[in-house]
């Protein structure tokens, strides 16, 4: 093992600062929500790229937000466990580049999959708006395309339903105008609903890098069962793919974000390896 300049450090600077920043974000999320009802998930969590709540800075800040202490603990434990060795080998600059590239890659892959899942509903909304009718809105509301997946959607739908049920029998034209307004707002709220948080994508990228650089190192699953890193990574990656396709393994777990971190990590390591190889020829 060839270390970067400075020797081996059990808590190298990049890993240390990432741990601190993640901890501060978590504490701020709790404190500001409790004291001022400020929802940092809405501000710093990563929204879908086409949503009105999306901001480019969220591509960075979402990696420092976590949904629970357990989520934070396991991500930070894995970051320290595997990241400290990688930073000692690569150096802080290359490690941080890798960390953020895999985090960005996780977001891209995750929301590509989310978009494909959302597309049928978005098409149904657009089809109604192109040819609106009271029959069309009733068919939409009673279909699988009405997904009450956020507070905003629920509030919008409840207000619409009460008003529409009165208007549709007394003033069908006004009811249709209300239906069009509802569908436009539903499209906005539907795009805003998905929010991803956590360093998991980058952590899975780090796990992939550990498996590639130290394939025969032993990882103790549940602190008891030894398995070589290369096999651990392959099994974990296969499980993430399985859970992502089947929808198992937790409804709120972004399995394709984990895979995205691993994919971008693999590509970046191969690129670096090829670039280093070309220097000698």
* pLDDT tens-digit readout, 30-62: 999 999 999 999 999 999 999 999 999 999 999
Give the bridge partners for 227, in sequence order: 219
Closest CA to 50 of 103, 105, 122: 122
CA distance 195 to 225: 35
- 264 in Cβ contact with 106 (< 8 Å): yes
How open is the CA angle 210-244-215, to the nearest 5 degrees? 15
* The pair of three-digit structure tokens given for residue 213, joined into one six-digit string: 């650089």
d(CA 110, CA 256): 5
Q: What percent of the chain has pLDDT over 70?
A: 95
pLDDT tier, 225 (very low <50, low <70, confident <90, very high otherwise): confident
Confidence of residue 280 (pLDDT cuts 50, 70, 90): very low
C-alpha span between 215 and 230 (Å, rounded): 5
pLDDT at 278: 55
pLDDT digits (tens, 9 = 90+) for 70-88: 999 999 999 999 999 999 9
Could you report the per-residue pLDDT of 235-268, keeping only the tens digit for each? Answer: 989 999 889 988 877 667 899 999 999 999 999 9
Is 49 or 281 the better-scoring residue by pLDDT?
A: 49
pLDDT of residue 212: 96
What is the reported pLDDT for 252?
79
Whole-number Å distance between alpha carbons of 125 and 142: 13
Find the mean pLDDT for residues 145-150: 94
Every domain of the chain and the residues it spans: 13-114+196-278, 119-192
Residues in the chain, overall count: 281
Please state the pTM of the whole predicted model.
0.92
Instruction: Considering only residues 9 and 92, tell me which one the structure prediction assigns the higher pLDDT.
Output: 92
Taking the C-alpha atoms of residue 255 and residue 116, their distance in angstroms, rounded to an integer, is: 15
Q: What is the pLDDT of residue 191?
A: 97
In this structure, what token pair is assigned to residue 114?
């989310």
Which residues neighbour 189 within 8 Å (Cβ) at sequence distance 6 or greater? 150, 152, 153, 156
How large is the average pLDDT for residues 210-232? 90
| 215 φψ region: left (φ > 0), alpha (ψ -120 to 50), beta (else) | alpha
Is 13-114+196-278 assigned to CATH 1.20.1540.10?
yes
């Amino acid at each position: 093992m060839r270390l970067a300049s400075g020797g081996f450090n059990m808590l190298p600077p990049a890993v240390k600062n990432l741990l601190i920043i993640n901890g501060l974000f978590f504490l701020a999320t709790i404190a500001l929500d409790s004291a001022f009802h400020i929802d940092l998930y809405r501000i710093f969590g990563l929204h879908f790229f086409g949503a009105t709540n999306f901001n480019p800075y969220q591509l960075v800040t979402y990696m420092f937000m976590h949904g629970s202490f357990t989520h934070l603990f396991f991500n930070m434990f894995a970051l320290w466990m595997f990241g400290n060795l990688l930073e000692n080998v690569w150096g802080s600059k290359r490690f941080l580049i890798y960390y953020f590239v895999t985090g960005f890659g996780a977001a891209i892959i995750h929301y590509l999959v989310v978009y494909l899942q959302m597309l049928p509903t978005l098409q149904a909304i657009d089809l109604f708006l192109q040819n609106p009718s009271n029959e069309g809105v009733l068919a939409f509301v009673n279909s699988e395309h009405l997904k009450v997946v956020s507070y905003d959607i629920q509030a919008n739908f409840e207000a619409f339903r009460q008003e529409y049920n009165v208007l549709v029998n007394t003033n069908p034209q006004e009811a249709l105008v209300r239906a069009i307004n509802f569908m436009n707002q539903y499209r906005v709220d539907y795009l805003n609903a998905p929010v991803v948080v956590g360093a998991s994508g980058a952590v899975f990228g780090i796990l992939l890098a550990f498996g590639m650089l130290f394939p025969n190192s032993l990882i103790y699953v549940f602190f008891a069962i030894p398995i070589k890193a290369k096999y651990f990574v392959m099994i974990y990656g296969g499980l993430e793919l399985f859970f992502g396709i089947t929808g198992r393994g937790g409804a709120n777990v972004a399995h394709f974000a984990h895979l995205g971190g691993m994919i971008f990590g693999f590509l970046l390591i191969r690129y670096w390896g090829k670039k280093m190889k070309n220097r000698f020829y």
